Amino acid sequence: MRIRILNNPRLRRSAAFTLVEATIGMAVMGTCVAALFSGFLSGFFTMQLARENQRATQIMLEKVETLRLYSWDQINTPGFIPPAFTNYYDPQSTNQGLAYTGAMEVASPPIASSYSNDLKLVTVTLNWQTGTLPRTRSFTTLVARNGLQSYIY
C-alpha cells in the first residue's frame, strides 16, 4: 500500500497536512491556551478579592464587637477610642503583608427622638489597596446606653 501512495502524485499531496492547515491549527491551539490561562488568572484574582473582602469584614467586626464591650462612659470619653488604626494581614508569609487602614467615628445618631441621647452612631471605614486598585468598605451600627456592656460590667 505504501508503494501506491508514493507512486501516485495525487495521493502523495493529500497524505500530509499543508503549511496553511498546520498554521491555522497552531493558531486555534494558541487561542485555546491563552483563554485557559486567562481563566486561571481571572479565577485567582477573584479569589484574592474575596479573601481580602472577608478579612476586611473580620477586621470591622472585631472593632465593633470590642466597642460593644466598652462602658457608656468609655464610649463618650474623647480619645478613649482611637479614631484611626492599621491592621496587617498576609496568610502566606511572616512579614506584615497587606495593610488595612481604618477609621472609627462615634457620633450622635440622626434620630429625632427622646432616646437619641442614649444612642451613638458608630461608623467603621476600612481602606486597602489590591495592586493599583483602591478598595474601601464601611460598616455603620448603633450602640445603646443600656446595651450589652451593661450586662458585662
Reply yes or no on whether the pLDDT at 77 is more than 60. yes
C-alpha cell at position 30: 494558541
C-alpha cell at position 83: 479614631
Q: What is the pLDDT of residue 130?
A: 87
**pTM score:** 0.72
Q: Which helix (H) or strand (E) element contains residue 49?
A: helix 19-68
Q: Cα–Cα distance between 107 and 53 in angstroms, integer?
A: 26
- Count how many domains the chain has: 1
Average pLDDT rounded to a whole number, residues 67-96 = 82
What confidence tens digit (pLDDT) does each residue in 100-148 have?
A: 999 999 988 888 888 888 889 999 999 999 888 999 999 999 888 876 6
Task: Give the CA dihedral 14, 19, 22, 28, nearest 10 degrees.
Answer: -130
DSSP structure class, residue 116: G
What confidence tens digit (pLDDT) does each residue in 3-56 have?
A: 555 566 665 556 667 888 889 999 999 999 999 999 999 999 999 899 999 999
Q: What is the pLDDT of residue 9?
A: 63
Dihedral sign for Cα atoms in the order 12, 18, 21, 22 = positive
- Which residue range is the domain that position 41 belongs to? 2-152
* Residue entry with cell 462612659: 73
